[in-house]
């Protein structure tokens, strides 16, 4: 009986990160800088007016100058996004557990979940905004509708694809339904759930923005999407880009945060969280 | 399906014919000599939903504390029999009785073909799982799980995750888990089939040692003649289509089975006998 040859040893690190990680950070960064540089150069060289295409420097200046307004809008949008993600996660998890407990429940309600997913939120957002008095609540509902499906569908697949032998083992030892759920099905579904969560994180931001656009067209909102609309009306194109940049950054940040959560929860056991080279 | 010269056997399906209606039956063919069987199968039949007759009219008594192998070609229903004994698969007809425990199945342990470990749990937590499901307190279940890990030679790997262990080590964890409840009967479904030969031989020896020291009844499903002869006191040969009992061969071998036995002429002769029985079963 020899010890496994993939036992973790001391690894070489550069600035706290394993050497293999650096290209993954640096390569996109270099491309990004080149792109921004090229953009700035082109805007200056061809003397493009700022109301058509502002350069990155102008956008950055606007971002700093308008930060008081923009940061307020960012907070509004992020609040809706995070709330929608939380509600989508809780509701999605609960629904998929319900589905996994009874084939009948799944057969009956899954089509409606799918229907909710495939209907474009832009099309139903005006209705929701009319029906729900509270504008925050209606934005939340729109974002939630977009965000909850990946959690439901992924977690349901995860709960249903539990190792059959392990299920037999639990049956052999007379495990209750609850024990089987908590000790076997939920942990086994965890990688699926986390993959769904990462998609839902991005979608809840998209849902929040779309809902704000619809609501903002009626003048009743203060999030980043509303700033974009407003800037468009006022031909404040640099501010439009600044708001857009904030949205993109938020999206990337949400994705990274959820990836980190996923990595931390799976790193000890799941293939997806393991580095390939040994 | 009759007696053969050269093997002190009893042949095939016993024709005493009592097919039990269900569950709680006394064994009808009580051996006057041996102790009461731990489990008695009567007319056990399994037909799957698609109409396949996996097992038909199987009668089998398994003596308490013995090591019995079910040997047969793939598709002879030997794994199905094991699953029915474990209560994991319902019988279509016939009955399975547990005469010693007033008809109720005693504590069972089951080792699957795959190690079947929870990848998100460490070795010790995997071994402790059956105790956890029984509601044993954490300190106590960890103490007993550690004891079992010591027994299978994995003391140093208690906190390793399954992916950090080799195939053989994972199977040891699986065996430790099956034994942690101190079962009366250990059911093993081709547990070593996926392992390399060196690891398999070593685990064969370890399993025998465990069986000698803890005296559970072992029912071992395999398709390897050599493994069945090396391990068991009795080899039950099954035939396929439909799965049924073909021959029942006692293995008269030294009490101490080790590498010397594995290379002895006795062992070779026993393997030949069993091999011939298996060949006949495949033609039958």
| Least Cα separation, residue B166 to chain A (angstroms) | 6
Contact flag A269-B161 (C-beta cutoff 8 Å): yes
B100-134 residue pLDDT tens: 767 678 899 999 999 999 999 999 999 999 999 99
Residues 6 or more apart whose Cβ sits within 8 Å of residue B147: none
B249 in helix, strand or coil?
Answer: strand
Using the Cβ of B197 and the Cβ atoms of chain A, whether some distance falls under 8 Å is answered with no
In angstroms, the CA A35 to CA A39 distance is: 6
* Cβ proximity of B145 and B81 under 8 Å: no
When pLDDT is averaged across residues B255-265 and rounded to a whole number, the result is: 85
Name the residue among A121, A180, A116, A127 with its Cα closest to residue A150: A116
Q: How many CA atoms lie within 13 A of A128 on its CB side?
A: 23
Q: Which fold has domain A59-268?
A: MetI-like fold (1.10.3720)
- Mark whether B75 and B128 lie in a shared domain: no
Residue B56 φ/ψ, nearest 5 degrees: -130, 125
Helix (H, G, I), strand (E, B) or coil at B149: helix
**Assigned domain for B32 exists:** yes
Write out chain B residues lying below 8 Å of A270, CB-based.
119-120
Alpha-carbon distance of A163 to A169, in angstroms, equals: 10
Task: Note whether ipTM > 0.90 here.
Answer: no
Assess whether pLDDT exceeds 60 at residue B27.
Answer: no
Residue B226 sits in the same domain as residue B101? yes
Asked if residue B76 and residue B102 are part of one domain, the reply reads yes
pLDDT of residue B20: 34
Task: Let me know if residue B3 belongs to a domain.
Answer: no
Q: Flag if A172 and B108 touch (Cβ within 8 Å).
A: yes
Q: Sheet of B10-11: strands edge to edge?
A: B10-11, B244-250, B234-239, B67-71, B217-222, B185-189, B108-111
Lay out the sheet containing B93-97: strands in order across.
Answer: B53-63, B37-47, B93-97
Distances, alpha carbon A188 to alpha carbons A161, A166, A171, in Å: 8, 10, 16
For A160, the token pair is 């249903």
Neighbouring C-beta atoms of residue B235, cutoff 10 Å: 27
> Which DSSP string corresponds to chain A?
-PPPTT-------BTTB-GGGHHHHHHHHHHHHHHHHHHHHHHHHTT--TTT---HHHHHHHHHHTHHHHHHHHHHHHHHHHHHHHHHHHHHHHHHHHHHH-HHHHHHHHHHHHHHHHS-HHHHHHHHHHH-S-HHHHHHHHHHHHHHHHHHHHHHHHHHT--HHHHHHHHHTT--HHHHIIIIIHHHHHHHHHHHHHHHHHHHHHHHHHHHHHHHHTT---SHHHHHHHHHHTT-HHHHHHHHHHHHHHHHHHHHHHHHHHHHHHTTT-GGGS-S--
Hey, where are the domains in chain A?
Answer: 59-268
Q: Examine the domain organization and report whether B99 and B145 are in the same domain.
A: no
Tally Cβ neighbours within 10 Å of residue B157: 22
Give the rounded distance of the alpha carbon of B11 from its chain centre: 21
Q: Summarize the confidence of residues B159-187 as an average pLDDT.
A: 94
Is the C-alpha dihedral spanning A135, A136, A140, A143 positive or negative? positive
A169 to chain B: which residues are within 8 Å by CB? 110, 112, 116, 129
Residues B83 and B216 in one domain: yes
In 10 A of CB B191, how many CB atoms?
Answer: 24
Residue B238's CATH number: 3.40.50.300
Q: How far is A148 from chain B (nearest CA, A)?
A: 26
Measured between CA atoms, the residue of chain B closest to residue A185 is B118
At B264, is the secondary structure helix, strand, or coil?
coil
Query: Is residue B86 predicted with pLDDT exceeding 50?
Result: yes
> Is residue B197 domain-resident?
yes
Q: CA B131 to CA B147: how far, in whole Å? A: 13
Contact between chains at B129 and A179 (C-beta distance less than 8 A): no
- B36 DSSP assignment: P
Place of tokens 């050269």: B6
Express each pLDDT in A155-168 by its tens digit. Answer: 999 999 999 999 99
Rounded to whole angstroms, the Cα distance separating A203 from A152 reads: 14
Cα–Cα distance, A190 to A131 (Å, whole number) = 36
Q: Is B111 helix (H, G, I), strand (E, B) or coil?
A: strand
Confidence at B24, pLDDT banded by 50, 70, 90? very low
Domain that holds residue B67: 10-106+184-283
Choose among A1, A168, A268: nearest Cβ to B161: A268
Task: Kindly determine whether residue A179 and residue B120, on different chains, have CB atoms separated by under 8 Å.
Answer: no
How many domains does chain B fold into?
Answer: 2
| Rounded-to-integer distance, Cα B282 and Cα B284, Å | 6
pLDDT band at B12 (very low <50, low <70, confident <90, very high): very low
The verdict on B218 and B262 lying in the same domain is: yes
Q: Are both B189 and B179 inside the same structural domain? A: no
Q: Does B155 map to a domain?
A: yes
Closest CA to B80 of B111, B109, B235, B88: B88
In this structure, what token pair is assigned to residue A31? 């491309």
Residue B196 C-alpha, separation from nearest chain A C-alpha, in angstroms: 13
Residue B21 has pLDDT above 90, yes or no: no
Cα gap A119→A137, rounded to integer Å: 20
Our CA-based measurement puts residue A221 at a distance from the nearest CA of chain B, in whole angstroms, of 45
Dihedral (C-alpha) A163, A169, A172, A177: value to the nearest 10 degrees? -60
Q: What is the predicted pLDDT for the residue at B106?
A: 87
Domain identity same for B265 and B159: no
Tally C-beta pairs within 8 A across A and B.
65
Torsion of CA B278, B279, B283, B284, to 10 degrees: -30
Test the A interface: residue of B86, B109, B114, B119 with most A CBs within 10 Å: B119
Inform me whether the C-beta atom of residue B116 falls under 8 Å from chain A C-beta atoms: yes
State the average pLDDT for chain B: 85
Instruction: Pick the range with the lowest mean pLDDT from A141-150, B21-30, B248-257.
Output: B21-30
Residue B164 has its nearest CB partner, among A4, A163, A187, at: A4
Say if residue B172 is in the same domain as residue B253: no
Residue B5 lies in a domain: no
Decide if pLDDT at B23 tops 50.
Answer: no
Last residue of a domain, one of B183, B209, B234: B183
- Average pLDDT on B136-149 reads 95
Q: How far apart are CA A73 and CA A179, in angstroms?
A: 45
User: Chain B residues with CB inside 8 Å of A174's CB?
Assistant: 133
Q: What is the mean pLDDT of residues B27-37?
A: 53
pLDDT at B256: 79
Give pLDDT, residue A221. Answer: 64
Q: pLDDT class for B5, splitting at 50, 70, 90?
A: very low
Residue B38 domain-assigned? Answer: yes
Q: Which candidate, A271, A254, A152, places its Cα nearest to that of A201?
A: A254
Pick from B86, B10, B4: which is nearest to B41 by CA?
A: B86
Mutate which of A165, A169, A185 to test chain B, going by most B C-beta atoms within 10 A?
A: A169
Out of B142, B166, B183, pick the residue that ends a domain: B183
B246 Rama class: left (phi>0) / alpha (psi -120 to 50) / beta:
alpha
Is residue B98 within 8 A of residue B104, CB to CB? The reply is: yes
Mean pLDDT per segment of 10 residues, for chain A of length 278 residues? 45 76 88 95 92 92 93 93 95 92 88 86 87 89 92 93 94 94 95 95 93 75 87 91 94 94 88 62
What average pLDDT does the segment B154-173 reach? 94
C-alpha distance from residue B211 to each of B208, B216, B219 (Å): 5, 6, 11
- Residue in chain B lying closest to A164 (CA): B116
Alpha carbons B191 and B212: distance in angstroms, whole number: 19
CA of A269 to nearest chain B CA: how many angstroms apart? Answer: 5
One domain, residues B123 and B160 = yes
Q: Within a 13 Å sphere around the CA of B134, how many CA atoms are in the beta-carbon half?
A: 16
């Amino acid at each position: 009986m020899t010890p496994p040859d993939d036992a973790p040893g001391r690894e070489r690190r550069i600035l706290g990160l394993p050497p293999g990680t650096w290209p993954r950070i640096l390569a996109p960064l270099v491309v990004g800088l080149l792109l921004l540089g090229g953009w700035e150069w082109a805007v200056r060289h061809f003397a493009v007016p700022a109301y058509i295409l502002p350069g990155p420097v102008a956008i950055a200046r606007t971002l700093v100058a308008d930060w008081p307004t923009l940061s307020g809008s960012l907070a509004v949008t992020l609040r809706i996004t995070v709330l929608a993600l939380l509600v989508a996660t809780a509701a999605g998890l609960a629904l998929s557990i319900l589905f996994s407990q009874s084939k009948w429940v799944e057969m009956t309600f899954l089509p409606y979940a799918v229907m909710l997913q495939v209907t474009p939120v832009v099309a139903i957002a005006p209705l929701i905004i009319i029906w729900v008095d509270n504008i925050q609540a209606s934005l939340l509902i729109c974002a939630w509708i977009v965000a909850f499906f990946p959690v439901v569908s992924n977690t349901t697949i995860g709960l249903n694809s539990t190792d059959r032998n392990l299920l037999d083992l639990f049956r052999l030892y007379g495990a209750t339904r609850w024990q089987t759920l908590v000790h076997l099905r939920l942990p086994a579904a965890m990688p699926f759930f986390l993959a769904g969560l990462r998609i839902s994180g991005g979608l809840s931001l998209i849902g929040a923005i779309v809902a704000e656009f619809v609501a903002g067209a009626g003048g009743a909102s203060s999030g980043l999407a509303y700033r974009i609309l407003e800037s468009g009306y006022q031909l404040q194109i640099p501010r439009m880009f600044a708001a857009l940049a904030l949205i993109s950054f938020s999206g990337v940040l949400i994705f990274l945060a959820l990836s980190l959560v996923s990595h931390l929860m799976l790193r000890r056991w799941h293939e997806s969280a393991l580095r390939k080279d040994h | 399906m009759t007696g053969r010269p050269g093997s002190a056997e009893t042949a095939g399906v016993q024709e005493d014919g009592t097919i039990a209606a269900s569950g709680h039956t006394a064994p009808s063919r009580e051996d006057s000599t041996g102790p009461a069987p731990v489990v008695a199968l009567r007319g056990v039949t399994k037909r799957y939903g698609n109409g396949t007759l996996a097992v038909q009219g199987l009668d089998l008594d398994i003596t308490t504390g013995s090591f019995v192998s079910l040997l047969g070609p793939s598709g002879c229903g030997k794994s199905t029999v094991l699953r029915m004994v474990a209560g994991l698969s319902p019988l279509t007809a016939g009955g399975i009785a547990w005469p010693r425990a007033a008809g109720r199945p005693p504590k069972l342990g089951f080792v699957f073909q795959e190690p079947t470990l929870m990848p998100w749990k460490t070795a010790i937590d995997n071994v402790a799982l059956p105790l956890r499901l029984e509601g044993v307190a954490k300190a106590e279940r960890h103490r007993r799980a550690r004891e079992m890990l010591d027994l299978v030679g994995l003391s140093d790997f208690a906190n390793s995750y399954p992916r950090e262990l080799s195939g053989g080590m994972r199977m040891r964890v699986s065996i430790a888990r099956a034994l942690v409840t101190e079962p009366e009967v250990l059911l093993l479904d081709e547990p070593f089939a996926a392992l390399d030969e060196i690891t398999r031989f070593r685990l064969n020896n370890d399993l025998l040692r465990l069986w000698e020291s803890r005296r559970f009844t072992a029912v071992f499903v395999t398709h390897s003649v050599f493994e069945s002869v090396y391990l068991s006191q009795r080899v039950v040969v099954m035939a396929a289509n439909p799965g049924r009992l073909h021959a029942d061969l006692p293995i008269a071998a030294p009490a101490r089975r080790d590498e010397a036995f594995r290379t002895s002429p006795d062992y070779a002769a026993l393997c030949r006998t069993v091999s011939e029985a298996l060949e006949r079963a495949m033609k039958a």
